[in-house]
Copies of this chain bind each other. A is one copy, B any other.
Amino acid sequence: MTNLKRPTIKEVAIQSGVSVQTVSRVINNRPDVAPDTRLKVQEVIQVLGYQPNALARSLIQQRTNTLGVVTNNLNFIGVSRTLNGITHMAEELGYALQLKSFHAFKPEEVAEVLNDLLSHQVEGIVWAMPEIGNNRLWLDQECPDLPVPMVFLTMQVRPCLPVINFDNLAGGRMAVNHLLQQGYRHIAHISGPLDWWESRQRKLGWETALQENGMMVNDSHWAEGDWSASCGAAVYQHLKESYAQMDAVFVANDQMALGVLQAARNSGIDIPGSLGLVGFDGLPESAFSVPPLTTVFQDQSALGSLAVTQLHEMIETQRSGRLKPFTEPVWLNPELIIRHSSQKPQAVYLGSGIPQTANHK
């Protein structure tokens, strides 16, 4: 079923009655080949189905046109959207992609993963594994020596290291400010696992927004989840006890928010009437929950594309000798998508007060 032998340049040369150098010239579209010779060689290539061996070529040229990609477990939905952007841009720029993914992160595996990629002579690496726990310990030096250009996604900024992040803090702040504008006054938070850098940033966004509006941040007003919907539901039940006045929740991802949505409905709590809800991520599904979920969207596909673009530039810069010392961190802005879950119905007009916005001017 499979014919094992792939023809080599030597066989093409023999069949064409020329030397391997001449075949090489034809393959690489060099001008200095006699038209007849070129035709003959091309014909033989066609007949034999010859394809140059990329390994041999890379070995002699000292260039693989290959990028390494390191990701988290691909069951996490975000990662695969990033990977999508990476594959697109890599294709466009002519890079092959070697993929390594951590299943469960173990610090001792970092060297292994890195060495594996390097032994394959990748020209650069996109480190798309998010910062969790101490999985950046290996980078915590003043200015770490990297064996090839690398771009890091989703981690705390470190000296001399090119990182690209969504501004999670700004995202959290946006979410909470929106809820405040809508008139919610007791805004709880369900965070992701706090060993994730992203979780901490989103939580910080929540705190910042509250403080900027002169509100207290209280430890009974938030709780930690594990990103899963079921956990979101459970944590919400807990918050109802610890924070009785709660009238809104900013949840650190959409999946947990969907859990909250379900739990709230099961308790007969009206969203957005009695509880405002904002998630984070912008999953397509979130638009189709009941009610549709307001969320902080991050375009992770764009993140992936940008990472490859930047890596490409770094590689080219380095190759050309102009060694730009290091690239500044890049911050991407997430985007608030306002849907029904956070649209507080207008307060009933009581007559006893005057609407604030109506009488001035």
Contact = CB atoms under 8 A, between A and B. Distances in A.
Interface of A: 1-4, 6, 51-56, 58-59, 64, 69, 73-75, 77, 79-81, 83-84, 87-88, 91, 96-101, 103, 115-116, 118-121, 143, 145-149, 160, 228-230, 233, 255, 258-259, 261-262, 265, 283-285, 287-290, 292, 301, 318, 323, 325-326
B285 A283 contact: yes
B2 A121 contact: no
A54 B120 contact: yes
Contacts of A121: 53-55
Nearest to A262: B288
Nearest to A68: B96
A145 B1 contact: yes
A99 B96 CA distance: 7
A258 B229 contact: no
A91 B103 contact: yes
A96 B118 CA distance: 12
A83, A115, A233: residue with the most chain B Cβ atoms closer than 10 Å = A83
Closest 6 pairs between A and B when the two form their complex, measured CB to CB? A80-B80, A74-B84, A229-B288, A54-B119, A258-B288, A87-B101
A147 B1 CA distance: 8
A163 to B, nearest CB: 14
Contacts of A262: 288-290, 292
A261 B285 contact: no
Contacts of A69: 99
Contacts of A143: 1
Contacts of A233: 288
A131 B101 CA distance: 26
A11 B63 CA distance: 20
Contacts of A54: 119-121
Given A84-B74, A259-B288, A98 B98 contact: yes
A73 to B, nearest CB: 7
What is the count of identical protomers in the complex? 2
A120 B285 contact: no
A190 B227 CA distance: 31
Given A6-B147, A262-B290, 9 more contacts: A2-B149, A52-B119, A53-B121, A74-B80, A96-B120, A233-B288, A258-B285, A258-B288, A289-B290
Given A58-B55, A119-B51, A262-B288, A326 B1 contact: yes
B265 A290 contact: yes
B1 A285 contact: no
A75 B1 contact: no
Contacts of A145: 1-3
A259 B58 CA distance: 50
A53 to B, nearest CB: 7
Contact of A59 (B59, B116, B149, B259): B59
17 contacts: A1-B325, A52-B119, A53-B121, A54-B121, A69-B99, A74-B81, A79-B80, A84-B101, A91-B101, A96-B120, A97-B99, A230-B287, A259-B288, A262-B289, A262-B290, A265-B290, A289-B290
A55 B120 contact: yes
A161 B125 CA distance: 35
A160 B1 contact: yes
Contacts of A77: 77, 80
